[in-house]
């Protein structure tokens, strides 16, 4: 029995094993089928991973681009705000200018065309920035008078000038820049330019003169005139300035230069308009510089208050004003002029009481003869080279004679002698100069010698003459 049972159990186990084998075979078939499904799935997963990695990279780039765009938008918004603020400031300046032009004032009234008056300028935000800019640009194109805001930089000023093609009058508060580049952009229509420093409180507008450009400079740096001459040149017909002008730039020799209220430097080739300028300034002009060629035309045209007259030759660039300045009298200085210039002094219609002669090598004894017609001449300054030519040429009323050596730049007048004798001062002259004093035909009662050694014997002769005259 036991063996039979064992056999039966063994058969049953074999059947179970066989069944299990069938199950395993079926599972293997399923596994094989699953493998066939998993392989493409893995490939798809790999592809998806690559796509996701690329998408992540693209996402990072998009985030960076978005951040950059956001920054640009912020900057653009700030620029728009600044542009509107600047535009509103300029518009307000324009509106104030319109109000000033509408109110009475001592400043010359410029022209602002009707088109600008009709423009309605709003300071509130507009629907679009373009419409504001268009209105402002159209308004600027019609402006003929403009006061530039003091806060403008050079780039802003140059951009503004390009928007003012019909400008006739311009005011500029001294810019912090000094290149003068903005001067090149002044439109050809401009007739009056006023440049003022930060400390100026009272405007000094120039009257328009001629068809060129009239310029007024107040409280500005000395190099401003050189910038004007370089950039504008022959366009300028009048310069009014409170600066002391010592040298005339070659580009401005065709312009009237008015220094302060009492000094005028006339260009060569003076015409009727310049003479009109003189006649209108009779009470204020105290110093006047003219070319030698124009001196004959000034007869009876000199301002009544004139005290110093400089007559210059064609090569002179720096007027040398007479040193002696008696109140209410006229002193004259001659610079680099021709020999016949002296002949016109007696015909000016004014009494010349002082005369200083510089850099006139062409003088001769005959050209100095007209000095005898200058009856009111009291003081005369000449070079040592001219002294021998003065023999018999001194006017009777001459009281002081100054003789200068080649290195002397201004006369040193001798002490005035109350007697009728002649007072003489010698400055930096050679020793033999004294010998010519005895040939003047006048008694020397005072002699003052400065610089250079002198011969004692000649000095003693002069002292003897003085003592004899004063005994």
Phi, psi of 332 (to 5 degrees): -125, 140
Sign of the C-alpha dihedral computed for residues 338, 342, 343 and 348 taken in this order: positive
- What per-residue confidence (pLDDT) applies to 2? 72
d(CA 145, CA 98): 9
Total-model pTM: 0.62
- Phi–psi pair at 169, nearest 5 degrees: -130, 135
How far is CA 436 from its chain centroid? 51
As given in the structure block, the two tokens for residue 276 are 């009109």
In angstroms, the CA 192 to CA 186 distance is 11
Residue 123 burial (CB count, 10 A): 13
Inside any domain, residue 225: yes
Query: Does any domain span residue 308?
Result: no
Give the N- to C-terminal CA distance of the chain in Å, as an integer. Answer: 195
**The domain containing residue 249 runs over which residues?**
144-260
Residues sharing a CB contact under 8 Å with residue 143, sequence separation 6 or more, in sequence order: 94, 112, 113, 116, 164, 166, 167
Please state, in angstroms and as integers, the Cα–Cα distance from residue 87 to each residue in 78, 92, 121, 123, following that order. 14, 8, 10, 9
Residues 189, 165: contact at Cβ < 8 Å?
A: yes
pLDDT at 100 (0 to 100): 59
Structure tokens at 432: 């033999």
- Strands (E) in 276-411, as ranges, are 287-291, 308-312, 330-335, 352-358, 379-383, 400-404
Per-residue pLDDT of the chain (471 residues; tens, 9 = 90+): 577 877 888 888 888 888 888 888 888 888 888 888 888 888 888 888 888 888 788 778 777 776 766 666 566 666 666 666 666 676 666 666 555 554 544 444 443 333 333 333 333 444 444 555 566 666 667 777 877 776 667 777 777 777 778 888 888 776 655 556 777 778 888 888 888 877 776 666 666 666 788 888 888 776 777 778 888 877 888 888 877 776 777 777 778 888 877 888 888 877 766 666 666 655 578 888 989 988 888 877 788 888 999 999 988 888 899 987 677 789 999 999 988 898 888 888 888 999 999 999 888 888 888 888 888 899 999 999 999 999 888 888 899 999 999 889 889 999 887 777 899 999 999 888 888 898 888 889 999 998 854 444 344 344 434 433 333
Burial of 29-59, coded b for 16+ CB within 10 Å and e otherwise, reads eeeeeeeeeeeeeeeeeeeeeeeeeeeeeee
Q: Which residue in 426, 417, 413 sits closest to 458, CA to CA?
A: 426
Distant-in-sequence, close-in-space partners of 382: CB < 8 Å, separation ≥ 6: 357, 390, 401, 402, 403, 404
> Which of these, 253, 256, 251, 292, lies nearest to 275 by C-alpha position?
256
Contact assessment for residue 218 and residue 204, using Cβ atoms and an 8 Å cutoff: yes
What are the structure tokens assigned to 67, written together?
């951040």
Total of domains in the chain: 1
Cα(403)–Cα(427) distance, rounded to whole angstroms? 6
The C-alpha atoms of residue 59 and residue 350 are separated, in whole angstroms, by 95
CA torsion 41-42-47-52 (nearest 10°) is: 100
Cβ atoms of 208 and 189 within 8 Å: the answer is: no
- The stretches of 163-305 forming alpha helices (DSSP H) are 223-232, 272-279
Strand pairing report for 236-241 and 169-173: unpaired
379 with 353: CB under 8 angstroms?
yes
Q: What is the DSSP letter of 418?
A: S
Residue 246 placed within a domain: yes
CA–CA separation, 252 and 233 (whole Å): 6
Size of the chain in residues: 471
Rg from Cα positions in the chain: 48
């Amino acid at each position: 029995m036991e063996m039979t049972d064992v056999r039966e159990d063994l058969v049953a186990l074999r059947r179970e094993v066989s069944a299990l084998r069938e199950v395993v075979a079926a599972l293997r078939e399923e596994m094989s089928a699953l493998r066939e499904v998993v392989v493409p799935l893995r490939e798809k997963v790999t592809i998806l991973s690559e796509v996701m990695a690329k998408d992540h990279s693209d996402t990072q780039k998009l985030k960076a681009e978005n951040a950059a765009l956001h920054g640009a938008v912020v900057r653009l918004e700030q620029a728009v705000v600044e542009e509107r603020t600047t535009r509103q400031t300029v518009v307000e300046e324009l509106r104030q200018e319109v109000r000033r032009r509408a109110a009475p004032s001592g400043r010359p009234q410029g022209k602002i065309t009707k088109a600008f008056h009709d423009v309605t300028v709003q300071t509130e935000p507009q629907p679009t920035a373009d419409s504001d800019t268009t209105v402002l640009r159209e308004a600027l194109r019609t402006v003929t008078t403009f006061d530039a805001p003091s806060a403008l930089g050079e780039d802003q000023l140059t951009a503004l000038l390009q928007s003012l093609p019909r400008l006739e009058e311009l005011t500029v508060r001294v810019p912090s820049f000094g290149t003068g580049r903005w001067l090149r952009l002044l439109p050809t229509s401009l007739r009056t330019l006023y440049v003022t420093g930060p400390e100026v409180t009272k405007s000094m507008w120039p009257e328009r003169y001629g068809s060129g450009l009239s310029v007024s400079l107040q409280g500005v740096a000395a190099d401003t005139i050189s910038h004007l001459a370089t950039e504008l040149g022959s366009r300028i017909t009048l310069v009014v300035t409170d600066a002391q002008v010592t040298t005339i730039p070659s580009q401005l020799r065709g312009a009237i230069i008015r220094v302060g209220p009492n000094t005028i430097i006339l260009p060569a080739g003076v015409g009727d308009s310049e003479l009109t300028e003189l006649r209108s300034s009779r009470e204020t002009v105290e110093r006047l510089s003219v070319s030698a060629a124009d001196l004959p035309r000034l007869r009876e045209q000199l301002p009544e208050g004139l005290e110093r007259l400089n007559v210059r030759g064609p090569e002179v660039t720096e007027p040398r004003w007479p040193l002696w300045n008696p109140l209410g009298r006229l002193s004259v200085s001659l610079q680099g002029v021709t020999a016949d210039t002296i002949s016109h002094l007696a015909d000016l219609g004014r009494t010349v009481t002082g005369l200083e002669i510089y850099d006139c090598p062409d003088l001769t004894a005959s050209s100095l003869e007209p000095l005898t017609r200058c009856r009111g001449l009291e003081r005369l300054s000449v070079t040592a080279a001219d002294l021998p030519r003065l023999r018999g040429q001194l006017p009777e009323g001459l009281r002081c004679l100054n003789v200068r050596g080649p290195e002397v730049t201004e006369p040193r007048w001798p002490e005035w002698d109350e007697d009728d004798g002649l007072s003489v001062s010698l400055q930096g002259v050679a020793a033999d100069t004294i010998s010519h004093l005895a040939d003047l035909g006048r008694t020397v009662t005072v002699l003052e010698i400065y610089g250079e050694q002198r011969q004692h014997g000649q000095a003693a002769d002069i002292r003897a003459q003085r003592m004899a005259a004063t005994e």
